[in-house]
Each structure stands twice: as structure tokens, then as C-alpha cells.
Amino acid sequence: MARLAQTAGLTDIQREILATVKDFVDKEVIPHAQALEHADEYPADIVAGMREMGLFGLTIPEEYGGLGESLLTYALVVEQIARGWMSVSGVINTHFIVAHMIKQHGTDAQKRHYLPRMATGEVRGAFSMSEPDLGSDVAAIKTRAKRDGDEYVIDGAKMWLTNGGSSTLIALLARTDEGAEKPHRNLTAFLVDKPAGFGEVVPGLTIPGKIEKMGYKGVDTTEAVFDGYRIGADKVLGEAPGQGFGFMMDGVEVGRVNVAARACGIAIRAFELAVDYAQQRRTFGKPIAEHQAIAFKLAEMATKVEAAHLMTVNAARLKDSGQRNDVAAGMAKLLASEYCAEVTQEAFRIHGGYGYSKEYEIERLMREAPFLLIGEGTSEIQKTIISRGLLREYRAR
């Protein structure tokens, strides 16, 4: 992108990584995205390319074999990838969240065991909080983990695991009996090892199959059924029972920056497609871009792209500086996902009838954008987080 979504103050290394990723997206992702998405086919070659570039270890510290890059670098990489195809960014996102949680909250043994193999992409992470009966209301989780000597026995059903089939490690939130009064204090995060695949992948854990989705295809989204599944107590994240809710929320917070970045990527692509099409398509004797109604749409779309990008960069930088960023991440996610839906819709309208044809990329973006209004917390949940944070800071005296 020549003019939009530029980021001031990047290091040479960040610029180099972004240039490499952009080149990869232009050559290896965009030309194949449409066909793979329509076939709902896992992008195995693209994922192999990302492994080669070291993207699975982008934010994992160098001492564990990763590139040790910041959340900002990650967000900008995700923006580029989502510009090519959002599903590809979905492949690395849950992996990145799980690596972040292990890095921040894991024991030394857990870090040594998982992070080097996560950095190469040999171990791939999925993140599981949602259940058939709940998504926003995480503290209501029903899946139970009952202590039995040195092990826990897990029973329950999980829903909406992005990378549920292709991952080999699930960060799972389950209810344990800690005797705490507050419900979220009775939740524990587990590191569940499993082979990739579907069916009963290990005794007591079944990954039934892919959920058919309206968009966000290619990447597998699944259920997970735990039935008497046994796991060692050493697989409790941080060996800290009852602290899982906080650990997962920390993961979700960086995940929100990632969703905002994805929304920026899709909006950038929608703008690129629209601005091209508007200069080629002629009506009433001139390109439609010369009709003020269309030119103004382009102006508004570009302004939204720019605002969303800046807020996402701001939220990532705040987290990187070690400051609390729940409000900033919530604002970035809210604004970027809502603007993405609007920009995509306007690009679709600019394409006229062709926007409805499966031959045109905008048709795919139209099906992808709505997911961003829901994933990592709906817009209503973002508003709840933002307003709570504001009322905390602006408390009337």
C-alpha cells in the first residue's frame, strides 16, 4: 500500500520482516487464496512457507529459538497476512496466544518443553475457552477437571476451537474445585498435548470434525469432547490451579490486538480492490471514481483504514511498553472490526453486480469481515470492557 497504513518509528529489522512478509503475501497467498477458500482446503504450502520464515516463533524469545519480536511486529505481520487471506492469519493466531501464555505464565519446565518446538512450528497451539452454551460468559464454564492423585480427569464439551484439528497443543480452560467464592477463581488452564487429526485422537479426547462456516474457510474450526480424559497435574499452566481465567484473559488481550490487525488487513485489501475497480469501471461516460458519490466512498473508506491502523498500532505499543492495555486493545478491536465491516460493504457496493460473483475477491472479504465482530469478544463485550475501564479511571469523587 503506497499511502495508507504506514507505521512511523519502525526499526530496520521490523521493516525487513514486513517487506519479506508482504512479498510472500503478494506472491504466495493472494494468487491462491480464492481457490483454496472456495474449496475449504487447508493452505498446507502457505503454512510451510510461514514456518520457513520463522513466523511461528516471531514473538517467542530468542533463548527459546524464536525471533523475540514485539506484539507490534506481530500485529503488522498479521495485518499483511490478513490482507492476503484472513484464514492464514488464523493459523498462527491461536498458536501465538498459547505461546504468549506459556512465556508469561508457564513454569520454567513448561517453557523449556514447549517454546523451542513452538518456535519452529513443530508444536502448534489452539486456544479453548468457548463451549456450546457459552462464549462471552467465560466464568460460566462447565467443562470440569477433577483432581485424582497426581492427575486430573476432564469431562465436558468445548466449542469453536480454531485449529482444533491441526494443532498439537490445546490451552484449555476448565472448572476445578478450588473452593473460591468468585466463579472465575475456580477456573484452571491446562496444556493438553494431542496429535493432529480428527476422531478420538487420544483416549478420552475426541475432535469430531470441521464445523462448516460461512467464511474463514481453509483453517479448521472444531469441537472437542473430553470424556474421562486424564492429564498430569504438571500440565496445569504455571502449576497454578485457579488462576486460569487471568492467564486466558491475558492471552485474549493480545488476541484482541491481533483481531484488530486482521480487520485492518481485510479493510486495506477491500480498499485496494475498490480503488482499482472504481478507476476501471465506466458509467455515464466516465470512470465511476469520477462520480463524487463513489469518490467520497473511497475517501471515507481510506480514513477508516487509517484510523483503525493507528489505533491498532497504539494498542500494540502500549502492551509492548508493559502498560495495561485492556481499554486500548478493546477500543482498537471494536473500531477496527466495525470499520472493516463497513469498508468491506462499501467496496462490495462499488463493485456493483460483480461484487456478488465468486470470481471477485470482494465476495470472500464480505464473508470474512463479520467474524471479526465476534472473535475474541463481540463488540458488545468490547464496549463493556472499555466502559468499565473508563469508569475506573474517571470515577466521580
Ligand X SMILES: Cc1cc2nc3c(=O)[nH]c(=O)nc-3n(C[C@H](O)[C@H](O)[C@H](O)COP(=O)(O)OP(=O)(O)OC[C@H]3O[C@@H](n4cnc5c(N)ncnc54)[C@H](O)[C@@H]3O)c2cc1C
Residues in the site for ligand X, rule: CB under 6 A? Answer: 94, 127-130, 134-137, 160-162, 213, 216, 221, 371, 374-375, 377-378, 380-381
In the bound state with ligand X, the residue whose beta carbon lies nearer, of 144 and 213, is 213
In the bound state with ligand X, the residue whose beta carbon lies nearer, of 6 and 136, is 136
CA atoms within 13 A on the CB side of 198: 10
3-state secondary structure of 11: coil
Q: Rounded to the nearest whole angstrom, what is the least distance from the CB of residue 48 to ligand X in the complex?
A: 22
In the bound state with ligand X, the residue whose beta carbon lies nearer, of 310 and 374, is 374
Cβ(186)–Cβ(241) below 8 Å: no
CA atoms within 13 A on the CB side of 312: 36
| CA proximity to 263, closest of 331, 335, 340 | 340
Q: Residue 174 belongs to what H/E stretch?
A: strand 169-175
In the bound state with ligand X, the residue whose beta carbon lies nearer, of 65 and 370, is 370
The Cα–Cα gap between 340 and 335 comes to 8
| 376 is known as an active-site residue | yes
Cβ(57)–Cβ(96) below 8 Å: no
Q: Rounded to the nearest whole angstrom, what is the least distance from the CB of residue 384 to ligand X in the complex?
A: 6
| CA proximity to 259, closest of 321, 217, 210, 315 | 315
In the bound state with ligand X, the residue whose beta carbon lies nearer, of 162 and 168, is 162
Q: Rounded to the nearest whole angstrom, what is the least distance from the CB of residue 143 to ligand X in the complex?
A: 11
Query: Which among 28, 37, 79, 376 is annotated as catalytic?
Result: 376
The Cα–Cα gap between 172 and 192 comes to 7
- Partnered with residue 148 across adjacent β-strands are 151
- Partnered with residue 131 across adjacent β-strands are 134
Give DSSP secondary structure letters for 182-235.
SGGGGEEEEEEE--SSSEEEETTEEE--BPP-SSS-SS-EEEEEEEEEEEEGGG
Q: Rounded to the nearest whole angstrom, what is the least distance from the CB of residue 72 to ligand X in the complex?
A: 23
Q: Rounded to the nearest whole angstrom, what is the least distance from the CB of residue 288 to ligand X in the complex?
A: 34
Q: Rounded to the nearest whole angstrom, what is the least distance from the CB of residue 342 to ligand X in the complex?
A: 18
The Cα–Cα gap between 258 and 108 comes to 26
In the bound state with ligand X, the residue whose beta carbon lies nearer, of 94 and 166, is 94
Q: Which residue's Cβ lies closest to ligand X?
A: 135
Show which residues are catalytic: 376
